[in-house]
Structure 1
Amino acid sequence: MFNRLVAAAFAASVAITGAAGAVSAQTSMPFALDWKFEGPAAPYFLAVDSGLFSDAGLEVEISEGKGSLDAIPKVATGAFPVGFADINSLMRFLDQNPGAPVTAIMMIYDKPPFAVVGRKSLGVETAKDLEGKVLGAPPPDGAWAQFPIFAAENGLDMEQITVEPVGFPTREPMLAEGQVAAVTGFSFSSTLNLKRLGVPEDDLSVILMADNGVDLYGNAIIVNTDFAAENAEAVTGFLTAIAAGWRAAIVDPDAAIEALIERNPAADADLEKERLQMAIDDNVLTDFVAENGLGGIDADRMASAIEQTATVYEFTSEPDAALYFDDSYLPAADSRMLK
């Protein structure tokens, strides 16, 4: 299966290699995001504009993605050396593609934004309210990928929930129009998209999976392990710049959003600033990160997350945390502190 993925990504890899040029004074590290150029991506653009990557000898071009799972095969096939993806989906990918050269190296969403967002006027305020309702879920969505754990932890009868596969562009509009009663998504994405569509904030119910029994991590920086083995210093420099970009965005979110708007002029700056702040407050700058710095994980919590995943997903081989997260490329903790 993995060999087929390699073939499928060959054209993309060639395109990137050609764009990078034959010889460069800097190491080219194209970076594949999980999603569009929205608020939570602003710290990476701020890192570009502030020279944080170039100071580390890196040439970083950032590309948008199509969902939390999107970057995993891109990085595994070598089309991109680094990306941003859901670590839980990475576990399953590696189980289904043993030996694929990809792993997570820096946790960004210490508290994942996986959520079910519903409308109170349509009868959804708690997890149990989903029974008897229509739930809109994009198949490539990271939150939907974890929904079975959420359902099990909250005793939901899946036979009483009508799941409607929806596309990312139609997810929030369908909820705004009442075609579905709730959707799966990232809290900061769906919530603000619905506000933009005119749904009153007090009509929204944001059910965070992390607050309802789901003990998982979220999105992380992932790397092609073959690339990392040959460019260890560059990878650590990349992670150092990532941490500095988040730190700068926390200090000056307006500058971060300005960098974002340069790449996405059609975006609403105020809304994207609110989205960025939600990600900082709810997902990135947790108590653990404030104490230990951005990027690391707690071994016991990771073990618990694997156990929880195993309750709804049958691993074909014994799960091994060392396959899913490698902290050896992280810079020193003091350079990863966000405050």
Structure 2
Amino acid sequence: MTLSISRRRLAAAATAVLGGVAFAAAFPGAALAQTDIKFTLDWRFEGPAAGFLLAQDRGYFADEGLNVTIDTGNGSVEAIPRVATGAYQMGFGDINSLIKFLDEDPAQPVKAVMMVYDKPVFSVIGRVSKGVTSDPKSLEGKKLGAPPPDGAFAQWPAFVAAAGLDTSTITIESIGFPVREPMLASGDVDGVFGFAFSVILNLKANGVPDEDISTILFADHGLNLYGNAIMVNEAFAEANPDAVKGFLKALAKGFADAVADPAAGAAAVLQRNETLNIDTETARLTMANEMNIKTPYVVENGFGGIDEARLAASIETLKISMALKGAVTAADVFDASYLPPAEERMLP
């Protein structure tokens, strides 16, 4: 009797295994969706987030055996401790702030693994009618609104050094993200810190005409830094290297889709926030693609990688302008070993 029961159990187990194999073959994404990843964005669901959302909506994460949850953020600086503490396994944040973060505590278990904004979007956006032009010197004598967690504001000391500004005549007022564009539109401040593609379009929505909007992009005035990157908690990466590799492979596909079809990318964004305008988010995504994502370097070398010498040079810049106290190297900050081959990271 015992032998008969054992045989029946073995047969049932074999059937279950074979059934599982057949199920996996028929539904690879569903069968493999077993590694959970909580991912934090730097900001709200807006046009530039389309690459992440298309990777999710089109099953690219599931195809890699991943169950990904994407949450909004409150600035590209705040994403860093979220990942370092393990509250999120992966996230999207400013690599320059990550350098500063690691300089203050090299033991923090967080590292960048994929570059997204090859050219950073850090800017001061101003009103021409308030005397702010495309010349950084026009900021002298002005009042600027700065949300403390903003990635652009985090690079203000570096920009001041690069542009040679006299800050003794510049007033910085701490403001919240929700009132940033309304305060500039009403003239309460002369300029604000932020990501160009976000602030410009939000200003237009607040009734400010094109001809009254001026943009000072830090990267165009001596600050040759990188921008936002994908970060990973190192303990998670060491325990789940294939999950990290799969995430980046899926994300490369999602961003390629967002570049090829910005309207589809914007539609994915609106599925998460129906209060947005499809034309505005398509324009925002197109602006991000052209200014920050599909740069000449990326066209030649593929999306997601870095020039290590350029990153090292940017660290030297930050040593001077942000008073880094340690010896953080490019290798301490960025690990390219999880990236898919360059041919799988080319943008259309």
Provide TM-score, normalisation by structure 1: 0.92
SS at match of 2:101: helix
Which structure has the bigger radius of gyration?
Answer: 2
Are the structure 2 counterparts of residues 228 and 121 from structure 1 closer, same or farther at C-alpha, using a change threshold of 3 Å? same
Partner SS for 1:118:
strand
Verify: 1:81 aligned to 2:89, yes or no. yes
Q: How many residues align?
A: 317
Q: Deviations over 1:45-98 (max 9, x none)?
A: 111111111011111110000001111111101111100000000011111222
Matched, 1:326 2:335: yes
1:99 aligned residue (100, 104, 107): 107
- Kept in 1: contact 2:102–2:328 (CA 8 A): no
Give the aligned partner of residue 47 of structure 1. 55
Percent of paired sites with the same residue: 55
SS at match of 2:45: coil
CA contact (8 A) 2:125 2:193 kept: yes
**5+ residue gaps in structure 2?**
1-31
Deviations 1:132-171 (A, max 9, x none): 1101111111101111111111111111101111111111
Q: Mind listing any 5+ residue stretches in structure 1 that lack a counterpart?
A: 1-23
**Stretch deviating more after TM superposition (88-97 or 285-294):** 88-97
Separation of aligned partners in 1, 2:275 and 2:62? 27
What CA distance in whole angstroms lies between the structure 2 residues aligned with 1:286 and 1:211?
14
Whether 1:251 and 2:253 are equivalent positions in the alignment is no
Q: CA–CA distance in 1 between the matches of 2:296 and 2:246?
A: 25
Question: How do residues 1-339 of structure 1 correspond to structure 2 at under 5 angstroms?
Answer: 25-125=33-133, 126-339=135-348
Q: Distance in 2 between matches of 1:70 and 1:263?
A: 21
CA contact (8 A) 2:139 2:170 kept: yes
Q: TM-score, normalised by structure 2?
A: 0.89
Instruction: Give the whole-Å Cα distance in 1 for the aligned partners of 2:197 and 2:263.
Output: 18
Q: Distance in 2 between matches of 1:94 and 1:319?
A: 7
Q: For 2:264 and 2:322, how far apart are their aligned partners in 1? A: 42
Deviation at 1:315, TM superposition (A): 2.2
Deviation at 1:316, TM superposition (A): 2.7
CA RMSD of aligned residues (A): 1.2
Distance 1:37 1:112 in 2: 19
Letter paired with 1:170: V
Counterpart CA distance in 1 for 2:263 and 2:123 is: 27
Equivalent residue of 1:322, what SS? helix
Q: Secondary structure at the match of 2:113?
A: strand
Moved over 3 A (4+): none
Q: 1:321 and 1:128 mapped to 2: Cα distance?
A: 32
1:25 is displaced (CA, Å) by 4.7
CA displacement 1:19-63 (0-9 Å, x = unmatched): xxxxx8521111100000000001211111111110111111100
Q: Is the 8 A contact 2:319 2:325 kept in 1?
A: no
Amino acid in the other structure paired with 2:98? L
Letter in structure 2 aligned against 1:153:
A
Q: SS at 1:62's partner residue?
A: strand
Per the alignment, in what secondary structure is the counterpart of residue 302 of structure 1? helix
Partner of 2:263, secondary structure, is: helix
Rounded Cα–Cα distance in structure 2 between residues aligned with 1:211 and 1:314: 22
2:324 and 2:212 mapped to 1: Cα distance?
39
Structure 2 CA distance for aligned equivalents of residues 272 and 141 of structure 1: 20
SS in 1 for 2:155: helix
